[in-house]
Amino acid sequence: MMEEQSNNEDGIEVENDTSPMSMSTGQSQVSQKKRKRNDEDKIMIALDKLFEESGKRMQAVTDAIVKGNEDRSDIAKELKKMGLSVIDQIEALKIILDKPQNISVFMSLDDEVRKVYVDNLLAGTARGST
């Protein structure tokens, strides 16, 4: 190893290690620190994305639960207007609310066609129902 000696202000000799080995060791340590910091940054970014995605999914679940408990008295009123018996109104409402596709079909039909649709639901003959 090559070692240089230098004089400081007090006249004391101080050894400076300027060998290529010590220089590369120092550079290696700096590189390792940068790599470690880089890896930590990547982990933090990944965790941020994970938490953000988890939050979105929790919101979607919450929205689905709230929508599932949505007041559908509008459908009940439509069934009542059809002149169905109370028992048939309740049964039809349960069948319609059981599947989101039934709600969509029911709400998109004209009054006369709705009546046929509900009669078919109650008879168990509506395709894709029950």
pLDDT in tens, 37-95: 888 999 999 999 999 998 999 888 877 777 666 778 899 999 999 999 999 999 999 99
pLDDT for residue 26 is more than 90: no
Q: Is the pTM higher than 0.85?
A: no
Same domain, 89 and 106: yes
Same domain, 79 and 57: no
What is the domain count for the chain?
2
Instruction: Flag whether 39 is in a domain.
Output: yes
SS3 77: helix
**End-to-end Cα, the chain, rounded Å:** 87
SS3 64: helix
Instruction: Flag whether 88 is in a domain.
Output: yes
Same domain, 48 and 87: no
Boundaries of domain holding 50: 18-67
pLDDT at 33: 75
pLDDT at 84: 93
Same domain, 117 and 84: yes
SS3 65: helix
Same domain, 94 and 61: no
